[in-house]
């Protein structure tokens, strides 16, 4: 069963991935499921290996985050949605987290740019 603490853990994991120190360090790898897939706001499709390289090379400042919501999708599955805001654009984001072996791991992420 998924509890409020589990939703909070998934939201915290998502926010950790926006932290530059986590993104550029070895800590990011521990948050991704082996089967991770992302449909990026750029239109690019990422897997676990390619996103870890991209995160490590990302020198941008973290965006502002708004409207964070966590919701239970099923047994050991949580959806986290939110908006990131940068001076040049706003992006709607959704992530699916799955508990595996007692750990919450990111299995899917989608970013959609909001038209101006």
Q: Which residue ranges make up each domain of the chain?
A: 4-114
Report the distance separating Cα 94 and Cα 75, nearest Å.
Answer: 18
CATH topology (fold) of 4-114? Nuclear Transport Factor 2; Chain: A, (3.10.450)
Determine the straight-line distance between the first and last CA of the chain, rounded to whole angstroms. Answer: 40
User: pLDDT at residue 24 above 90?
Assistant: no
Residues 6+ positions from 79 with CB-CB distance below 8 Å: 70, 71, 72, 73, 94, 95, 96, 97
Question: For 51-95, what is each residue's pLDDT tens digit?
Answer: 999 999 888 888 999 999 999 999 999 999 999 999 989 999 999
pLDDT value, residue 58: 85
Averaged pLDDT score across all residues of the chain: 93
Residues 6+ positions from 21 with CB-CB distance below 8 Å: 27
pLDDT value, residue 60: 85
Look at the pTM and tell me if it is higher than 0.85. Answer: yes
- Per DSSP (E only), the strands in the chain are 32-39, 45-47, 64-74, 77-86, 89-100, 103-114
pLDDT value, residue 111: 95
User: pLDDT at residue 41 above 90?
Assistant: no
Residue 96 neighbours by CB distance under 10 Å: 19
Determine contact, residues 16/104, Cβ cutoff 8 Å: no
User: pLDDT at residue 3 above 70?
Assistant: yes
Q: Which of 11, 3, 5, 1 is nearest to 70 (CA)?
A: 11
Confidence at 1, pLDDT banded by 50, 70, 90: low
């Amino acid at each position: 069963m998924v509890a409020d603490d589990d939703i909070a853990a998934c939201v915290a994991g998502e926010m950790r991935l926006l932290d530059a120190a986590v993104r550029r360090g070895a800590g990011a790898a521990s948050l991704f499921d082996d089967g991770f897939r992302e449909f990026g706001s750029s239109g690019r499709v990422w897997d676990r290996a390619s996103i870890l390289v991209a995160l490590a090379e990302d020198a941008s400042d973290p965006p502002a985050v708004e409207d964070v919501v966590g919701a239970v999708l099923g047994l050991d599955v949580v959806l986290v949605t939110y908006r990131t805001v940068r001076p040049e654009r706003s992006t709607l984001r959704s992530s699916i987290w799955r508990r595996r072996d007692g750990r919450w791991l990111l299995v899917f992420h989608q970013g959609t740019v909001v038209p101006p």
